[in-house]
């Protein structure tokens, strides 16, 4: 195994390196460990340890991440006007800390331990920080998590519960990113920030594609919709299908979904630009994808290329659309998702309006984060909550229930 720059092709030994020494480009893990699945680990992605980058089974830190359910959503299909196909939900909320980040962090922290790291640091909008805090606690490592000061309380509470040192920085996420990079360089902690900065962590996401294909009985979906900040999950899906022999146009069309209040990749896609430019201050309820890419715009440019190579597209969704998608997921599919996790559902009407979802299409939406992480939008939604002044009057309570159930959602 080795690290290769995706931009200039320069190769590096398999160490804790975060950028190409020749050009500063993004590094990718090339090769696989061939490691036999270690006994005693919980079920999950390490069943495929041979395909990942860890060579020492004793370094693996797992909480049972990966191999999440893929759920058909017929009631949701019926609730989306104009949709005539199969809608599948890859439920990443089932990961141990409640988001897809656990896949990347398990791979990244395990390699860091193998390479002798004495602690970890992570910049996060919330989910990666919660994951790093949990896995560091599992490993007995010190963890420093840096988040924007406006990070939702649910995510902050989760991070703090695991005992990590939590630093709250005013302003946008990119300021947290810069501080994490500086601390990693100064103190020698492994940087587990889940942009493209840690190639070992990004490598842990490539199993998503093979999981989806296996769960579809060997079929390749027509579209895969991915909530997108800088875009490592887009790469994970693309690499996973490529490893199965379905690269580029032979694989699914990838849809990068961003929020209207922070959409640098969508802006570049729609302008026909080759490079992504940084966004200003984000303004969206979707904290998980509110990454302005300031200082690491090349991450967005790489994701833009991946989307185009797949024949896919990039879509921005409004906060109102996100709220509606959260409601639909909860009431038509039984999934409680944070705004970012619901963003693929919010994007479907726009894709349908543009004629990008053909009749009979197999569509997979990655539901990336659990609703317990940011439930504020749900608290503002109408709910069927009724006071019962006299619970002993069963007839009156029954009439109340029948009336409430007859109401439209």
pLDDT digits 0-9 by tens, 147-199: 999 998 989 999 999 999 999 999 999 999 999 999 998 888 999 999 999 99
- Strand-pair partners of 167: 146
Is the domain defined by 2-62+101-201 classed in CATH 3.40.50.1100?
Answer: yes
Domain layout of the chain by residue ranges? 2-62+101-201, 70-98+205-379
Q: Of the CATH numbers 1.20.1050.40, 3.40.50.1100, 3.40.190.10, 3.40.50.800, which one belongs to the domain with range 70-98+205-379?
A: 3.40.50.1100
Q: Would you say how long the chain is, in residues?
A: 409
How many other CB atoms are found less than 10 A from the CB of residue 321? 21
pLDDT tens, the chain, 409 aa long: 999 999 999 999 999 999 999 999 999 999 999 999 999 999 999 999 999 999 999 999 999 999 999 999 999 999 999 999 999 999 999 999 999 999 999 999 999 999 999 899 999 988 999 999 999 999 999 999 999 999 989 899 999 999 999 999 999 999 999 999 999 988 889 999 999 999 999 999 999 999 999 999 999 999 999 999 999 999 999 999 999 999 888 999 999 999 999 999 999 999 999 999 999 999 999 999 999 999 999 999 999 999 999 999 999 999 999 999 999 999 999 999 999 999 999 999 999 999 999 999 999 999 999 999 888 888 888 888 889 999 999 999 999 999 988 887 6
Name the pTM for this structure. Answer: 0.95
Q: What angle do CA 284, 289, 292 make, to 5 degrees?
A: 80
C-alpha to C-alpha distance for 66 and 46, rounded to whole angstroms: 8
Q: Please check whether the two domains, 2-62+101-201 and 70-98+205-379, share a CATH topology.
A: yes
Task: Give yes or no for a contact between 142 and 119, defined as CB atoms under 8 angstroms apart.
Answer: yes
């Amino acid at each position: 195994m080795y690290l290769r720059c995706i931009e200039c092709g320069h190769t590096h030994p398999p160490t804790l390196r975060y950028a190409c020494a020749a050009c500063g480009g993004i590094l990718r893990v090339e090769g696989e460990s061939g490691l036999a699945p270690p006994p005693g680990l919980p079920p999950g992605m390490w069943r495929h340890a041979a395909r990942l980058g860890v060579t020492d089974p004793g370094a693996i830190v797992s909480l049972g991440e990966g191999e999440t359910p893929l759920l058909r959503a017929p009631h949701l299909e019926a609730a989306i006007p104009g949709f005539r196909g199969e809608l599948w939900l890859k439920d990443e909320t089932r990961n141990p800390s409640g988001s897809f980040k656990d896949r990347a962090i398990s791979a990244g922290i395990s390699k860091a331990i193998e390479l002798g790291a004495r602690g970890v640091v992570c910049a996060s909008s919330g989910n990666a920080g919660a994951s790093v805090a949990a896995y560091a606690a599992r490993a007995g490592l010190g963890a420093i998590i840096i988040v924007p000061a406006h990070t939702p309380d649910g995510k902050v509470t989760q991070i703090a519960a695991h005992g990590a040192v939590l630093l709250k920085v005013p302003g946008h996420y990119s300021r947290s990113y810069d501080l994490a990079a500086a601390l990693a360089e100064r103190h020698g902690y492994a940087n587990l920030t889940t942009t493209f900065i840690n190639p070992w962590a990004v490598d842990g996401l490539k199993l998503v594609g093979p999981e989806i294909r296996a769960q579809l009985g060997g079929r390749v979906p027509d579209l895969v919709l991915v909530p997108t900040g800088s875009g490592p999950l887009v790469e994970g899906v693309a690499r996973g299908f490529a490893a199965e022999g379905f690269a580029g146009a032979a694989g699914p069309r990838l849809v990068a979904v961003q929020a209207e209040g922070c959409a640098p990749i969508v802006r570049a896609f729609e302008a026909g630009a080759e490079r992504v430019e940084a966004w200003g201050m984000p303004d969206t309820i979707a904290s998980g994808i509110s990454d302005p890419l300031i200082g690491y715009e090349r991450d967005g440019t790489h994701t833009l290329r991946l989307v185009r190579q797949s024949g896919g597209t990039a879509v921005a969704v409004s906060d109102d659309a996100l709220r509606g998608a959260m409601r639909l997921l909860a009431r038509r599919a039984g999934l409680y998702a944070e705004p970012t996790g619901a963003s693929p559902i919010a994007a479907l009407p726009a894709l349908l309006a543009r004629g990008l979802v053909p009749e009979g299409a197999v569509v997979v939406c990655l539901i990336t984060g659990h609703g317990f992480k940011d439930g504020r939008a749900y608290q503002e939604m109408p709910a069927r909550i009724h006071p019962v002044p006299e619970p002993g009057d069963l007839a009156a309570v029954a009439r109340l229930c029948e009336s409430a159930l007859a109401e439209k959602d």
